[in-house]
Amino acid sequence: PEASEPPPAGCAPDAIKLFVGNIPKACTQEQLLPFFETIGKVAELVIMRDKTTQQSKGSAFVWYTCRAHAERAILQ
């Protein structure tokens, strides 16, 4: 099996990282976090940015503190 990155501090051992696409490029982490937290506790939210311009790429990675919250988010 492919090695996966360990979850950040505060996550259950079974936590998984979600990729989220089609995020409006103008959105900030502060704007997105409350939206994702309507589903469950978020341990980490990282908006993907262009290395040169620092402009949002319109996608993010989200770590929920447990797999059940991540799976609920997938169903939304």
Report residue 57 as tokens: 């790429």
If DSSP codes are grouped into helix, strand and coil, which group holds residue 30? helix
Range 48-60 average pLDDT: 97
Q: Which pLDDT score, from 0 to 100, does residue 5 have?
A: 80
The pLDDT tens digits of the residues spanning 4-35 come to 788 999 999 999 999 999 999 999 999 999 99
- For the cut 50, the answer to whether the pLDDT of residue 1 exceeds it is no
Nearest to 62 by CA among 75, 4, 40: 40
* pTM for the predicted model, two decimal places: 0.88
Tell me the pLDDT of the chain averaged across its residues.
93
